[in-house]
Amino acid sequence: MAVAGQNLARETLRGFLPVLDDMVQQGLAVFSDVDVIKYTHHYQDGERRKVVRP
């Protein structure tokens, strides 16, 4: 099942490439598999836990 989901995501991204081509005037857009080492996001004030792990 994971392969089917990956194929759907890949096709969705490929369908977006013409839009991306119009948006990006300079630079590099990379379409490849990655290994995510760490993912974080911006926390709003008070949203992040207050306790720091040792």
Q: Is the pTM of this model over 0.85?
A: no
How high is the pLDDT of residue 54?
62
d(CA 9, CA 34): 14
Kindly report, residue by residue over 1-54, the tens digit of the pLDDT: 567 777 888 888 889 989 988 998 898 888 788 888 988 877 776 666 666 666
Alpha-carbon Rg of the chain, whole angstroms?
17
User: Is the separation of the CB atoms in 29 and 20 below 8 Å?
Assistant: yes
Provide the residue ranges of all domains of the chain, joining segments of one domain with +. Answer: 1-54
Phi-psi category of 31—alpha, beta or left, where left has phi over 0 and alpha has psi -120 to 50? beta
pLDDT of residue 14: 87
